């Protein structure tokens, strides 16, 4: 059975912010490479949903590095057979601002 992938509004917004930042600072090619890396990592998460580092034990939030500057946070909902993409985080930001 295939795992369903659901993006939160926060995930969609943070992904778009990083994408637009990459276009502004670098170029479209680099931004598209970022999107490819995200797609590849989500496929990996679907194959091995519990293999990433546990970020928040209580809320079962896991994290995976997309790039040294970007981390993807997600939750594996086993009962629903789905992955909930929560947020893309620019690792250069203050971690104290990180909230779900």
pLDDT tens digits for 74-95?
A: 999 999 999 999 999 999 999 8
Summarize pLDDT for 49-75 with one digit per residue, the tens: 999 999 998 889 999 999 999 999 999
Neighbours of 30 (CB within 10 A): 12
CATH number, position 25: 3.30.2310.20
Residue 100 lies in a domain: no
The answer for residues whose C-beta is within 8 angstroms of residue 55's C-beta and 6 or more apart is: 61, 62, 63, 73
Q: With 0.75 as the threshold, say if the pTM is over it.
A: yes
Could you list the residue range(s) of the whole structural domain that residue 75 is in?
A: 4-92
Residue 60 zone, left/alpha/beta (φ > 0; ψ -120 to 50; rest): left
Residue 97 lies in a domain: no
Q: In the chain, how many domains are there?
A: 1
Average pLDDT over residues 33-52: 97
């Amino acid at each position: 059975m295939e795992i369903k992938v659901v993006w939160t509004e926060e995930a969609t917004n943070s992904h778009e912010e990083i994408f637009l930042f990459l276009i502004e600072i670098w170029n479209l090619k680099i931004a598209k490479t970022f999107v490819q890396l995200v797609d590849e990592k989500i496929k990996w998460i679907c194959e091995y949903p519990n293999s990433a580092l546990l970020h928040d034990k209580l809320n079962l939030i896991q994290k995976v590095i997309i790039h040294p500057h970007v981390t993807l946070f997600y939750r594996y909902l086993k009962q629903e057979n789905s992955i909930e993409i929560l947020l893309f985080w620019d690792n250069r930001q203050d971690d104290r601002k990180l909230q779900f």
